[in-house]
Structure 1
Amino acid sequence: MTKTDANGFYWLNSEKRNELAFVILPAGYDVPTVKAMPQFWQPCTLDANTVEQLDFQLLRADNDSHTMLVATDMHLANRNSPKDYVQFADGFVKELTSAYNSAAPGKVYCLNLGDFSWDGYWYDNKWALPECKQSVEDFNFQMWSVMGNHDNDPYVASDFGAEGPYRQHMGPVYYAMNIGRIHYIMLDNTEYLNTGGSQGTVGSRNYNRRFDDRQLAWLKEELTHVDKSTPIVVGCHCPLYSYSGSGGVSVALQTQADIDKILSCFAGFSNVTFLTGHTHVNRNIQSPTYANVYEQNIAAVCGTWWWTQQYGNNNVCTDGSPAGYKIFTVDGTDLKWQYKATGLPIEKQFITYDMNEVKEYWATDATALKAFAAGNDLRNRDKDYSTVGENAVYINVWAYEPGWTVSVTENGTPLAVKQVWSKKDPLHSISYDIPRGAANNGTLTFPSTSCMHMFEVTASSASSTLEISVTDRFGNVSTESMTRPKALTTDVTK
């Protein structure tokens, strides 16, 4: 790492290990954009013993106020029906180009949190990082990226070596940039092992979830150049934390020591937000040991790996969240955010289930009965809601986090709302688990996961109308007048 002089000239003595160099974007500046890719890095073309000149163009930009679109887990691989890249183009890409392509330069950016591609299909399906880049080249705004575990070369059984195509096509695997008054840091926290991989042979694609020591050393040096009062936004693929049991928090990296190594780097910074993907679910978790760190684990653009369009004519994740992304609105050092389900109005932040109807579906639907009878991954799934009482209503609040309120009234009378932990979402079950299980002898690749943002009320009758209101931490309100009985369908707009 080095700094330029007052005239912008620099000298860097480097072993050229990464075969590239990049500029850390200073506040108040931008870089040119080519087909949605920010031009902040240059490849090294000469050996380490030979001096070469790499120039970077900086453009003045008024971006203290900007919108950051945060998306993750596209998993483009030339597979599924309809093809994943077709679903991607017709949904996510169409929505973002329509909404944001006319924005002034420096006002809209996108963060891609990894698994842009799917390593297991790079060679068989002839779809890897170059094809993924082509799928977003119509964006008029920049897409800054980090790599996920599936963005590694599956023929290479080493972390650094497997990152080679990513560095060639996407740029550095860790870097930083100042956009407006926010300091963004993009990191790599997958250590790709890929046991058994060799030229012509796809390995097991296994990996560890941690930040390597070389990267941490770079991060510590990089942060010495950042004022402690600056808000920090860190993008990486794998989450730091997960939920365990009824609201407990557990470590999602390899060990607590790995948590300590990364989060101790931010000592003295008061406002540190980690944005992560990988899980294909929505989770928002305050670090239990580092008060200055808050993690937003964001659901996937691809939902359930692009499967539910085939079975449910929708795109939903394993926790029932519709596939989508987060919109961060930045004004100086102030950040606000909302989850945006692709294809739905931003005002829709939850879905409701009449559990009388759900239990009836579980007991009588022919496809469900066939799936449950098959056993295997659906063993005992006929009992998913056996303990749910009469006239219960479930409310899946997709991006729920501390500071939100969920309120329900029945005929003007408030109902007690309780959070329900470790229940599976009915929408995902009927959009994937049940039809896939019925067709595949009960075997599922991506079964429903426990939903950690489900709420329950109990009505006084089976036919009353409920008024439901959800208010987020910034005062945005989402409402539904729920007429009951309410049929269980795969229509996410209902």
Structure 2
Amino acid sequence: MNRRDFIKNLGLTGAALTAPCAVINASPVISEKPGVANITLKGRIHHNGSGIAGVAVTDGMNITLSDKSGNYTLLSNKAAEFVYISVPAGYAFPHQKGIADFYKKIDSSKSTYNADFRLEKLETDDRKHNFVVWADPQMISKKDAEVLVTQAAPDLKQLVSNYPAGSLFHAIGCGDLVWDHFELIEDYKKAVDISGIPFFNLIGNHDMDLDARTDDYSARTFKDNYGPTYYSFNRGNVHYICLDDVFFIGTAKRYIGYLTENQLQWLEQDLANVKHGSTLVVSLHIPTFTGVQRRNKLKEEEIGGVVANREQLYKLLAPYNVHFMSGHTHMNEKWEKDNMIEHVHGTVCGAWWTGPICTDGTPEGYAVYEVNGDQISWYYKSTGKPREYQLKVYEKGRLKTAPDAIVANVWNWDPKWKVEWYQDGVLKGAMEQRVDFDPWAVELYEGPAMPKKHKFVDPTLTDHLFFATPDANAKNIKVVTTDRFGNTYSQELAV
């Protein structure tokens, strides 16, 4: 059994092999039985005293809309933890040093809890805006945190500054914000603050309380720092939904990809207020689906690698145009079918901060999305590299399984891209797509002693490799890629 098989058998693609000592020695969290008595949630949503009508307010179970004066009343029960809003289009995202602040912690000692929400109108038309996805910062040490704070966060800040003044940006922290070490949450928050834009955060399998007795209590620390684990918000014509698809099964580091009935019922209510045909951005940590089973010729899906009840989610989302945002795998890939496309993101930490690339050869970095009305375009931003850096071409012989071929890794590829090659200035046509390992990832991560920092890391098979065999007398090779939006990127190689 190799290292990756061992990790898969734990249900932990890319997870640590051992629990922190603090977790092993901790006493199980036994929660007091929550009260089931009713509590009335009341309040007002306003801008400078003027009520805002039609704002969705929820306790995570039921949803109501504010009236024409901005007032709301919601009958809840004392098991509810938060009252929170779906920030409407046209308003700024409230935040505390970059951490989105759209919720109030319920005081369940009373029979009525009052919570007002004050919003600020945007001065810019938000039908045109941008957002980024940070997948898996996943820090396990102060050394990791230092890299996030001094390199990744300033890179994002610089990217935002390159856009016209006043451009609207927000971010989605797509889970595994830390690597079980909650003392590093403050470092994550520091990085968010440095970036200068508001972050909406998701819970990942490494953000859970591993001493919880059930999934219900595994998000305590996350909630203390970031609020609810599922919620929605709006910007321009786009409705954003954030979900918790990491289901803790009651023992340290064991989980499945699964959406609870509570969330799906809440989602049904949330979508009742969204016009059919709208564009949705649905973010969750574990991908709803990937190509891992196909590429590795596995008999069954990895139970911790995809969402087991995804078909039920797809049914709810069928009337909309959907972009899924996910992380977890430390690879970059996309799939598209009917009304849905899923963006599985390469990570901020690469291969767990062991090298400059993910296990599929995708550089450590993040995705950038540009929204114009109902349409979304995107590109991948490698940390420390210019926007134009979208492929890497390897010389002949670099990949041992294809000794006579040059290999191009086009990490943000999807089937609507073109990947062509030129030999000594002459167009030779499309390159051949194959499933294989990235050559550099093999050099960095393959073998029982590699990499030194985290030996469980292995190279992974990917779909976004392209091959061509030059003539023996060729002197220069150029690979030109064209993405689905007509943007071209290229790299040359002397043979």
* Post-superposition offset of 1:257: 6.4
Distance 1:148 1:60 in 2: 32
**Aligned equivalents of 2:223, 2:195: Cα separation in 1:** 21
Q: Please list every run of 5 or more consecutive structure 2 residues that lacks an aligned counterpart in the other structure.
A: 1-62
Report matched runs for 1:85-234 at 5 Å.
85-100=145-160, 107-119=168-180, 121-122=181-182, 126-127=183-184, 129-195=185-251, 203=252, 205-234=253-282
The partner residue of 2:286 within 204, 217, 238 is 238
Contact 1:469 1:480 (8 Å CA) reproduced? yes
Verify: 1:70 aligned to 2:126, yes or no.
Answer: no
CA shift, 1:19, in A, is: 1.5
Structure 2 counterpart of 1:44? 106
Distance 2:112 2:167 in 1: 33
In structure 1, the residue matched to 2:486 is 475
1:2 to 55, 59, 64: 64
Deviation string for 1:384-417 (max 9, x for gaps)? Answer: x24x242x10000011002100010112333354
How does 1:390-429 map onto structure 2 within 5 Å?
Answer: 390=404, 392-429=405-442
The Cα offsets for residues 88-135 of structure 1, whole Å up to 9 and x where unpaired, read as 12221011122326976671111111110112x34xxx43x3442233
TM-score, normalization: structure 1? Answer: 0.81
Find the partner of 1:279 among 314, 329, 334: 329
**Matched residue type, 1:474:** F
CA contact (8 A) 1:281 1:317 kept: yes
**1:416–1:457 CA contact under 8 A, matched in 2:** no
What is the percent sequence identity of the aligned residues? 27
1:57 aligns to 2:118 (yes or no): yes
Q: CA deviation at 1:327?
A: 0.7
Q: Distance in 2 between matches of 1:209 and 1:330?
A: 29
State the SS of the aligned residue for 2:479: strand
Q: Distance in 2 between matches of 1:433 and 1:15?
A: 53
Deviation at 1:58, TM superposition (A): 1.3
Q: Which string of whole-angstrom CA distances, capped at 9 and with x for unpartnered residues, describes residues 151-180 of structure 1?
A: 101221311101111111101100000111
2:342 — aligned with what?
295
Contact between 1:33 and 1:141, CA under 8 Å: does it hold in 2?
A: no
Structure 1 residue 458, shift from structure 2 partner: 0.4
Matched letter for residue 139 of structure 2:
L
Report the CA distance between 1:33 and its aligned residue: 2.5
* SS of residue paired to 1:25: coil
CA 1:354–1:333 in 2, change beyond 3 Å: closer, same or farther?
same
Are 2:95 and 2:102, in contact at CA under 8 Å, matched by a contact in 1?
A: no
Q: Structure 1: which amino acid aligns with 2:210?
A: P
Please report the TM-score for the alignment, with normalisation by the length of structure 2.
0.81
When residues 439 and 168 of structure 1 are mapped into structure 2, their CA distance, relative to the original with a 3 A threshold, is: closer
Q: Distance in 2 between matches of 1:105 and 1:171?
A: 28
Cα distance in structure 2, aligned partners of 1:92 and 1:13:
44
1:435-458 CA distance string (max 9 Å, x none): 943869xx9311000121000000
Question: Against the structure 1 CA distance between its residues 278 and 28, is the aligned structure 2 distance closer, same or farther, given a 3 Å change threshold?
Answer: same
Task: State how far apart, in whole Å, the 2-side matches of 1:335 and 1:132 are.
Answer: 28
Distance change >3 Å, CA 438–CA 397, structure 1 → 2: closer
Aligned partner of residue 232 in structure 2, secondary structure:
strand
**Counterparts of 1:51 and 1:407, CA distance in 2:** 65
Alpha carbons 2:451, 2:457 under 8 Å: kept: no
Name 2:44's counterpart in structure 1.
none
What's the secondary structure of 1:482's corresponding residue?
strand
Verify: 1:335 aligned to 2:395, yes or no.
no
Q: Distance in 1 between matches of 2:179 and 2:313?
A: 27
Counterpart selection for 1:29 from 53, 74, 91 = 91
Structure 1 stretch displaced more, 68-77 or 211-220: 68-77
Once residues 250 and 309 of structure 2 are traced to their aligned partners in structure 1, the CA distance between those partners, rounded to angstroms, is 21
C-alpha spacing 1:403/1:253, structure 2 compared with 1 (3 Å): farther
User: 1:319 corresponds to which letter in structure 2?
Assistant: D
Task: Describe the shift of the 1:171–1:246 C-alpha distance in structure 2 as closer, same or farther (beyond 3 A).
Answer: closer
Q: Residue type matched to 1:210 in 2? A: Y
CA distance in 1, matches of 2:91, 2:451: 55
C-alpha contact 1:115 1:149 (8 A) present in aligned 2: yes
Considering fraction of residues, name the structure with more strand.
2
> SS of the residue aligned with 1:262?
helix
What's the secondary structure of 2:353's corresponding residue?
coil
In the superposition, relative to structure 1, how do residues 34 and 256 fare at CA in structure 2: closer, same or farther (>3 Å)? closer
Contact 1:329–1:337, Cα closer than 8 Å, also in 2: yes
State how far apart, in whole Å, the 2-side matches of 1:246 and 1:150 are.
Answer: 26
| RMSD, aligned CA | 2.4
Residue 316 of structure 1 aligns with an amino acid whose one-letter code is I
Alpha-carbon distance, 1:425 to partner? 1.0
Mapped to 2, the partners of 1:73 and 1:417 lie a distance apart of 34
Q: 1:346 Cα shift?
A: 1.0
- Note the C-alpha offset of 1:34: 1.8
- Asked whether the equivalents of residues 361 and 438 of structure 2 are also in contact (C-alpha less than 8 Å), the reply is yes
- Counterparts of 1:101 and 1:38, CA distance in 2: 21
Q: Which residue of 1 aligns with 2:74?
A: 12
Equivalent residues of 1:404, 1:472 under 8 A apart? yes
Between 1:420-429 and 1:249-258, the stretch displaced more is 249-258
| 1:240 and 1:251 in contact (8 A); partners too | no
**CA–CA distance in structure 1, aligned partners of residues 205 and 80 of structure 2:** 18
1:347 is aligned to 388
Alpha-carbon distance in structure 2 between the residues aligned to 1:96 and 1:454 = 27
Answering whether residue 363 of structure 2 is matched by residue 307 of structure 1, we say no
8 A contact 1:247–1:421 mirrored in 2: no
Counterpart residue number, 1:376: none
2:475 equivalent in structure 1: 464
Instruction: Note if contact 1:18-1:167 (Cα within 8 Å) is conserved in structure 2.
Output: no
Distance 1:280 1:458 in 2: 30
- Separation in structure 2 between the aligned mates of residue 346 and residue 157 of structure 1, nearest angstrom: 45
2-side partners of 1:467 and 1:301: how far apart? 29
Pair 1:59–1:247, CA change in 2 (3 A): farther
Count matched residues: 427
| Superposed displacement of residue 418, structure 1 | 4.2
- How far, CA to CA, are the matches of 2:463 and 2:112 in structure 1? 54
